[in-house]
Amino acid sequence: MDRDDVRRVAAAIAELPERQRIAVRMYGLEGCKLREIANQLEISISLAHNLVVDGLAHCDRRRGKGEPQ
């Protein structure tokens, strides 16, 4: 990723709701497993999965990769 991509991803993460932002950070930056994210946020593993998938898709859209909104 170049600097512009990093800025776009950081801005995209900042746009996310708090719980989703935490899930994406834990998964993408800290390397946590979905079970760890679910435990930390006190949610189901399937909801943790959805938060991460949707959050990463949002970041991809902001970087200009993937489907538009």
> Which pLDDT score, from 0 to 100, does residue 28 have?
92
Residues 5-40: b if buried by 16+ CB within 10 A, e if exposed = eeebbeebbeebeebbbbbbebbeeeebebeebbee
Q: CA 60, 66, 14 angle in degrees (round to 5)?
A: 20
- Per-residue model confidence as pLDDT tens digits over 6-27: 888 899 999 999 999 999 999 9
> Which pLDDT score, from 0 to 100, does residue 69 have?
46
In the chain, what are the domain boundaries? 3-62
Domain 3-62 is in which class?
A: mainly alpha
Neighbours of 61 (CB within 10 A): 15
Contacts of 44 (CB under 8 A, 6+ apart): 38
> Which pLDDT score, from 0 to 100, does residue 43 have?
98
- Per-residue model confidence as pLDDT tens digits over 17-67: 999 999 999 999 999 999 999 999 999 999 999 999 999 999 999 888 655
Give the single-character DSSP code of 26: I
Whole-model pTM over 0.95? no
